[in-house]
Structure 1
């Protein structure tokens, strides 16, 4: 602890608080606003709910865990699918039940301990499902990067100009990831978006009208059940969204293990996995209640903690407050709205690839033996069912498909196939 600049419950000075809080806000900013851009939600509401969810998390974990909650990439495909089924309101309802599922799991862990969930979610199941998340979105990323809508039709056509913007964005983010050090190394997505946006302005593909028309201050686009959409719960929506917690709970455990190593604490035991899961889940519930995407603890911000050795929860709280305030600046949100789709596609190529690769890394770090036919079968089935978009249709209103079906089948195969060993604790620095 001698290298620690500020420990978890130490208060920074006023100047330190502002500077360090902005660092955390910028670290999460690019990824947090990218998710709503991809699924049709408001970037402003994503920022607002990231701040609110982080404060909720800090309260539930008794201000012992310096973690920032941002938009979860694991739910991009499920939100898009749920929106096609019943509109964006259905996706929000599904996200609320995701939060409630976290609450149920946290209650079970509180009463029975955490070892059972480690056995339920071994690397051989979670790793391939994480790969499905990234690879399943690959077509979307490439389409965004190089194709533009044909005016007056539902068709798209290739655009070299837009694809060049995607490539500039992509290579900037790659350069930052590989060559930048210290704080800048935690913000490759944000820097890539900024450089890609500037390039897009130079080549003339940015429409500035939304910025001119926007007010300086504006309320985020809330989505309130009973006001903006009818609150109708269907089994189809639940089966699209809820099974993804198989992955995100593993992600949460991995982040808590890594964070604990960074700040020299055992967060699985104190304040307890049940508390951190409850904080994550309740943050997601509150976010969905007002129109934000599901939340997860952010690896980028854990990286900032490791680099700065500033672990203060007051700094995390400061970043949350800044995000909340920024969400009400209409001009700033309008600038985000003018980012070309191709620029978003450029960073998505890298991000979705990293998600897939992180699933592969999890398998490597867990020393999963693919010479064992049992492991080979489980991984193969998960990958093909998830990426292939398989569906299990029970009735018109009841079906399980894609990533959700892959996750469920993976868990079942792991339990019923002979030769199952005790699952290792996921050592995961995975998707956001």
Structure 2
């Protein structure tokens, strides 16, 4: 491992601190604002909640884990369903429950260790579910790319999406250094400029907006009355269980980058609790669920700056940006086809990462057991299957697919121990580092 320029506990100089923190802010910016944009939530609150959530995560992990937490793509479909059927209140209750699941799992892991969750979520289950998360959203991405504000096909709007997509791909493949980890933001900027040229951007809201503007926080008992239903649980809990594997994967990659074993110190239970706490904070003010960001891990790997103070600085910047009215107004003027163009690649990458997990884990599809589990998960999830239970409980789409996948893995004969090399290769990480 190359010697770090700034290690985890190092405090940067003021000018260096400012620049490095802004770099992390921009690396997460595009993805973090895209999620609330697609769901219907406030981008400003997404920024503020990501900053507050990251600071909480750093405190809970004792300032040992330099991770930034942004909006989670895995929850787009369930939170969007809750928002459309029950408003922001239902979406926030769902977000709160997702964070609560993380908290419960963290407590169990602290008492009994983490091997059980590895065995519950082997790659043959998690891989196809991640593929479903990406592919189930593909229709939304294409619709946003092709249609105008009236919902009708427009070649002009589609051209904006294609330019955005092309720019994002070019930055993803050919960009060097820091630009290589912000292709989403760069693609959005290029797409926005093209949309301005072709005349589908109304810049007036930015001119009219105040520099300082208080976001419309979504607060329980103040903005909305709490309404609990088992439908909400059925939608978000299976996704929360699956995204735990994403969290574990990020911690292992981060361990390898930084050269420390974060599964043992400060402990997987602490990082999971930090992630859950960030999501609960987000739910209490109107933001989407949170997750540790691979984009920021990429920045750490490129810059070899691991300081948690730099991450904390980025979190503070995100909070400040959420209160700048002109920035919020600018985000809201981004045309739908720009976001549609970026989403085509992003959702495809999510699906492909599920496929990559299967390949990396050397899953044998000559084994009928593996073939059955993956096939059922993919068709139920992408097809949008729904199970209607008593008391108006519905389990649908990727949530149903995740549950069925876990059950099939537990029930079908021939089950082997989960391939812990996907999640728990601590010794190998040490050697590589």
Shorter-chain TM-score: which interval?
Answer: over 0.9
1:82 match: 82
TM-score (norm 1): 0.96
SS at match of 2:272: helix
1:257 aligns with 2:252: yes
Shift of 1:182: 1.0
SS at match of 1:296: strand
SS at match of 2:288: coil
1:322 aligns with 2:330: no
**What is the CA–CA distance in structure 2 between the aligned matches of 1:92 and 1:395, rounded to whole Å?**
24
Per-residue Cα deviation, 1:62-108 (whole angstroms, up to 9, x for no partner): 00000000000000000111123312210110110111111110000
1:24 match: 24
2:282 match: 287
2:430 match: none
1:196 aligns with 2:229: no
1:53 match: 53
1:141, 1:346 within 8 Å by CA — same for their partners in 2?
A: yes
Shift of 1:392: 0.9
1:335 aligns with 2:320: no
SS at match of 1:95: helix
**What is the CA–CA distance in structure 2 between the aligned matches of 1:223 and 1:214, rounded to whole Å?**
21
Per-residue Cα deviation, 1:168-217 (whole angstroms, up to 9, x for no partner): 10000000000011111000000000000000101100012211221111
1:153 match: none
**What is the CA–CA distance in structure 1 between the aligned matches of 2:173 and 2:78, rounded to whole Å?**
31
**What is the CA–CA distance in structure 2 between the aligned matches of 1:210 and 1:149, rounded to whole Å?**
17
2:126 match: 126
1:92 aligns with 2:87: no
**What is the CA–CA distance in structure 2 between the aligned matches of 1:120 and 1:203, rounded to whole Å?**
51
1:126, 1:246 within 8 Å by CA — same for their partners in 2?
A: no
Distance change (3 Å), C-alpha of 1:305 and 1:396: same
Distance change (3 Å), C-alpha of 1:188 and 1:2: closer
1:216 aligns with 2:211: yes
2:431 match: none
**What is the CA–CA distance in structure 1 between the aligned matches of 2:294 and 2:167, rounded to whole Å?**
20
**What is the CA–CA distance in structure 2 between the aligned matches of 1:297 and 1:149, rounded to whole Å?**
33
1:416 aligns with 2:411: yes
Per-residue Cα deviation, 1:214-257 (whole angstroms, up to 9, x for no partner): 11110122101111111011111111112101221000000000
1:67, 1:301 within 8 Å by CA — same for their partners in 2?
A: yes
2:142 match: 142
1:186 match: 181
1:395 aligns with 2:390: yes
Which stretches of structure 1, 4 residues or longer, exceed 2 Å deviation after superposition? 425-428
Shift of 1:399: 1.4
1:67 match: 67
- Range moving further from structure 2, 33-42 or 86-95: 86-95
SS at match of 1:148: coil
**What is the CA–CA distance in structure 2 between the aligned matches of 1:111 and 1:206, rounded to whole Å?**
54
What is the Cα-based RMSD across aligned positions, in Å?
1.0
Per-residue Cα deviation, 1:250-288 (whole angstroms, up to 9, x for no partner): 000000000000000111111000000000000000111
Per-residue Cα deviation, 1:294-341 (whole angstroms, up to 9, x for no partner): 000000000000000000000000000011111110011101100000
Distance change (3 Å), C-alpha of 1:2 and 1:388: closer
1:276 match: 271
**What is the CA–CA distance in structure 1 between the aligned matches of 2:93 and 2:122, rounded to whole Å?**
29
Match among 200, 206, 229 for residue 205 of structure 1:
200
Distance change (3 Å), C-alpha of 1:291 and 1:373: same
SS at match of 1:6: coil
**What is the CA–CA distance in structure 2 between the aligned matches of 1:178 and 1:94, rounded to whole Å?**
36
**What is the CA–CA distance in structure 2 between the aligned matches of 1:392 and 1:157, rounded to whole Å?**
32
Shift of 1:396: 5.1
1:122, 1:426 within 8 Å by CA — same for their partners in 2?
A: no
**What is the CA–CA distance in structure 1 between the aligned matches of 2:148 and 2:49, rounded to whole Å?**
31
